[in-house]
Amino acid sequence: MEDFAAASGVSRPTVSKYFHDPGSVRKSTRERIEAALEQYDYRPNIYAMNQNRQLTKSVGIMVPYLADPVFAEIARTLERRCIEAGFHATLFSSHGERKLENEALDDLRSLRPSGVLLAPLGRSSDRDHIARFCEEVPTVLLDRNIAGIGEAFVGSDNQSFVSQSVDYLTRTGEPPCFFEMRNPGNP
């Protein structure tokens, strides 16, 4: 960043301020920086920029399976919302494996994200590992709640859903729907 600041004729702290919030520098300075970005095709290293920040502009997203259409859509929607809010999303999949889930959590911790949206494996997860992670990183659990861990959970009430579905089918006489799950992640 030092070299880029010198080449653009702007101080390094001002360039740093621009990368954190472009609207925080004067219009004329912003235009000089943007012209230099274009001329030198410079892209800052977001990981290096985040090392000295308390709060980063990154959010971690972890799902058990990207091949699962539900999790793929959740990940796509979350990533899009992060981008719209000015955050960088980093996506991980545990591929249904406890070891990979733990390794991904360790990788996420090292990135120092502002927060993580985690769809854990559930019963297959290492409860203690996730609990330690949630103590250090603001985390929202998705789809599968792990009792006593984290402050936030977003999901559905499967028991209520099943009873409502059975009630509807028996009341209306509609034939049951069929949805084949060849490899359920957490039976």
pLDDT number for residue 95: 95
pLDDT score for 100: 97
Q: Comparing C-alpha atoms, which of 73, 75, 116 is closest to residue 93?
A: 75
Q: What fold characterizes domain 58-158?
A: Rossmann fold (3.40.50)
20: phi then psi, degrees, rounded to nearest 5: -75, -40
pLDDT value of residue 175: 65
Q: Tally Cβ neighbours within 10 Å of residue 125.
A: 22
Give the pLDDT confidence score for residue 89 in this predicted structure.
Answer: 94
Within 13 Å and on the Cβ side, how many CA atoms surround 134? 22
How is the chain split into domains, by residue range?
2-44, 58-158
Q: Give 10-residue mean pLDDT values along the chain (187 residues).
A: 82 83 88 86 70 75 92 93 92 96 94 92 92 93 82 76 75 66 55
Give the pLDDT confidence score for residue 55 in this predicted structure. Answer: 64
Q: At 27, which amino acid appears?
A: K
**pLDDT at res. 13:** 85
The reported pLDDT for the residue numbered 187 is: 46
User: pTM for the whole thing?
Assistant: 0.65
Provide the pLDDT for residue 141: 92
User: Distance (Å, rounded) from C-alpha 121 to C-alpha 97?
Assistant: 8
* The predicted structure's pLDDT at residue 37: 84
Torsion of CA 143, 146, 149, 150, to 10 degrees: 10
